[in-house]
Amino acid sequence: MPWPDDSLIGVDNSRGSVEYLRSKQQQQQQQQQQQQDPDTAPTGPKDTPKEKALEKTYNYAKEVATMDAIRFMMSKYNRDFR
């Protein structure tokens, strides 16, 4: 039985192979680098720009006024007369 060529060994994707473990380590290192430097990560088509993401979208005072008005309207006709 002849020994396998180097080309066949490099293609081996079984979990125990050395090439698979090396490629897995390289992927983990790349992921760690991207997690450490989020500014240098490539932007995807669904990514939101930083300026838009940091905009203030919730107005507490407006929310309180709206809830007070809703409570008033709901209680106006829901009186219990006995």
All structural domains of the chain with their residue ranges: 7-77
Bigger pLDDT: 51 vs 35: 51
Which token pair is 65? Answer: 């006024």
Residues 30, 37: contact at Cβ < 8 Å?
Answer: no
pLDDT tens per residue across span 17-43: 667 777 878 888 888 877 776 666 677
d(CA 6, CA 17): 13
What pLDDT is attached to residue 39? 67
Higher per-residue pLDDT: 5 or 20: 20
Say whether pLDDT at 67 is over 80. yes
- What pLDDT, on a 0 to 100 scale, did the predictor assign at position 48? 84
25's tokens: 């380590």
Which pLDDT score is estimated for 75? 81
